[in-house]
Amino acid sequence: MRLLIKLTICFTLAYSTSYALNMTVGTADTVEYLIFTPPSYDGTQAYPLLVYLHGAQAIGPDISCSVGKGLPGAIRNNSFFNDIPMIIVAPHVKKGDKCSSLDNNDYEWNTAMVNNVIDHIISNYNINENRIFGSGISLGAKGLWDYVLDYPDRMTGIVPFSGNAPIEDICSLDEVAVWAFHGEVDGLIPPTGGTDRKGSQTVVNELNNCSNSPYIPAYLTLLTSKGHNGWDQVYDLSSGYNIYEWLLALKRNVSTDYTPLVNLGPDKSFVNPPHAFNIKSFAYDPNGSIVNYDWDVDGPVQTTNSGQPNLAVNLSTPGNYNVTLTVTDNEGNTSSDQAVITVLSSAASAPQITELRLYHGNTDLGPITNNQVVNLDSYDATLLDVVATTANLNARASVRFSLNNNHNFTSLNDNNINSAYSIGNNNHKSYIPTPGQHTITATAYGDRNEIDQGISYEVTLTYSNGPLPIKLLDFSASVKGDKVTLYWATTEEINNSHFEIYQGLGNAKSMDKIAEIPRVSHQQEINRYSYIIEDVPCGKLYYQLRNVDLDGQQDLSEIIHIKHVKNNCSARIYPNPVINNSFVYESRTHNSNTDLILINSSGMAVRQYTISQAEGNKTILDTSGIPPGIYYLQSENGVLQTQKLVINPQ
């Protein structure tokens, strides 16, 4: 534990300033904080508490440095917080003589101070102490990780943005749920980088690989092509990632029966769309996996249900299309979201986006065609930008860009653009293309506050490194019963010979070829494939698609994974109680090597076993020398299993 500095807390509130909604200033001894209480709070019922730690830019001589930034800024500008049954407190670091001083970048949050503020709030408000949450941005996210490491029993769930953490003691956070966000191209705090401290991507992986992994798996949203920002759009819900719904659903140390989250983004309007839409969903099951995607499009033209996270659909006929996605998780829980897409034959006077163009620095590379492939080897990625061509925008207009399932990658008005509306804001701090498929939608608004919505324009382009045998547009999987169905879509299979499917169980480092699929004989603009794998083993399954060119050139897809859990996944152990100092471990995973740990009732490991694939599904394990008692046998192959084993006196 790091050095803690003791603060004496004065248990009286000093309200001095009032801001939008019910956000006021309070004081805990010398520490000022902003606090928001929803209108429904009257003190008779215990409310959850969300603690927000600001970044370096909010450090300054008084609390006004905090008001318009991060979560307090979202609260000030969005009335939906009135409907969230949660008290939010934001301690302020008073330091220096001005806000946003670079001298504050090396500050480290005092975790004892944060804890004392929490104690102070608990003493003055009716707080449910099993539902204390945390969030923070950049420097505040680093402080949040430090806080939960110093006080691992205090917070039930945290949402850190663009932070990093020491990982030596990270496995102590088995009672803390984590949903971390990080920009994929964050150069200030890289998602995997660091020496003494590691970025969010590494920390989440380390957490999930702990023998005592968190009660629900730690989750990372890696914001595609995003730098060191993105939290404002998450806090105000415009990105589509509802962290408040996730936090309020958490139950301390309860790992089952969580409802999945799903979001399709806002309604949109298009004028005579020249190509099919690629509708990207965000769907996340906190404690398991999504096993079914059920799409429904109700409008002038019906469409086929894809059964995949994304839907490619041609909506060229004018009219209103009600698009609904219902997702089902592995526990049978369902959630739905709907978006309305309006197709118009004309909109002469409405603010609108008429096309999207690709720029490399100041060089205009021309309009982007749908499903265009851009080879990053031919350009400097930091100079690539997507610029919107607009019509009917006045001097107080704005444009919002979405990227894949991030429904507000960035929003721009006339105050924060240089010469044109672009996803990179013309200075390339916001958007650095990375390999993969990018569905970009630009929406015009007639005002700065994005209320007077106009016409959108959408394109899908794929960034690649080097030449591809084909253009792979999508690769996904779903599981139902003992079957996994793989889906993929391609275009321009000019030289493709066939596809190969690889499967791994428990890890992605050891994958075996399980099928070879020929290319379709009659090529379409978009070719859709599916392949059903029967009798799949239990555990965490990894899949990769390899497409092979006629001249032997090969290209690998990204690795996707899915959990297959059913009632008979657990291995059998018998006889139980043990007889003659041995018992049989019968695996049902049909797979590779398995590591087992025998743990006593005090939580200490007393013996470890390694079962190789060559030993088959039944293995006799020795318990000689182990004292009689109750033990627990743990195994993990993508799915942690714990079974009780009794050793009686012989």
**C-alpha distances in Å from residue 159, one per residue of 18, 142, 353:** 26, 11, 34
- For residues 221-230, give the mean pLDDT: 94
Residue 15 has pLDDT above 60, yes or no: no
pLDDT score recorded for residue 388: 95
- CATH 2.60.40.1930 in the chain is located at 572-647
CATH 1.25.40.10 fits 352-464, yes or no: no
CATH 2.60.40.10 fits 471-564, yes or no: yes
Residue 473 has pLDDT above 90, yes or no: no
pLDDT score recorded for residue 641: 67
Q: Which amino acid is at 345?
A: S
Among all chains, which residue has been given the structure tokens 């599981």?
Answer: 479
Give residue-wise pLDDT tens across range 432-452: 999 889 999 999 999 888 889
Contact 283, 261 (CB under 8 A): yes
pLDDT score recorded for residue 7: 32
pLDDT score recorded for residue 494: 67
Which neighbouring-strand residues pair with 133? Answer: 50, 157
Which uninterrupted H or E stretch holds 76?
A: helix 70-77
CA pair distance 243, 230, nearest whole angstrom:
14
CATH 3.40.50.1820 fits 23-249, yes or no: yes
Among all chains, which residue has been given the structure tokens 């003190």?
Answer: 43
3-state secondary structure of 642: strand
Higher pLDDT, 495 or 287: 287
Q: Which amino acid is at 389?
A: T
pTM, two decimals, is 0.71
Is the sign of the CA dihedral 112, 116, 119, 125 positive or negative? negative
Give residue-wise pLDDT tens across range 282-322: 999 999 999 999 999 998 876 767 788 898 888 889 999 99
3-state secondary structure of 161: strand
Residue 487 has pLDDT above 50, yes or no: yes
CA pair distance 303, 305, nearest whole angstrom:
7
* 572-647: CATH, from 3.30.420.40, 3.40.50.1000, 3.30.300.30, 2.60.40.1930: 2.60.40.1930
Residue 16 has pLDDT above 50, yes or no: no
Q: 540 CB contacts (<8 Å, ≥6 apart)? A: 505, 506, 561, 562, 563, 564, 637, 638, 639
Contact 23, 76 (CB under 8 A): yes
Write phi, then psi, for 145 (nearest 5 degrees): -60, -45
Cβ neighbours around 252 below 10 Å, total: 16
Structure-token pair, residue 392? 């009917």
On the 0-12 / 13-18 / 19+ scale of CB atoms within 10 A, 444 is buried
Which uninterrupted H or E stretch holds 147?
A: helix 139-150
Give residue-wise pLDDT tens across range 552-596: 677 788 888 887 655 456 677 888 899 889 988 877 554 556 778
Domain 261-344 class? mainly beta
Write phi, then psi, for 28 (nearest 5 degrees): -115, 100
Give residue-wise pLDDT tens across range 139-157: 999 999 999 999 999 999 9
Higher pLDDT, 9 or 285: 285
pLDDT score recorded for residue 18: 36
- For residues 408-417, give the mean pLDDT: 85
3-state secondary structure of 628: coil
- CATH 2.60.40.10 in the chain is located at 261-344, 352-464, 471-564
The three state secondary structure string of 172-237 is: HCCCCEEEEEEECCCCCCCCCCCCCCEEHHHHHHHHHCCCCCCCCCCEEEEECCCCCCCHHHHHCC
226 pLDDT tier (thresholds 50, 70, 90): very high
Give residue-wise pLDDT tens across range 320-330: 999 999 999 99
Residue 4 has pLDDT above 60, yes or no: no
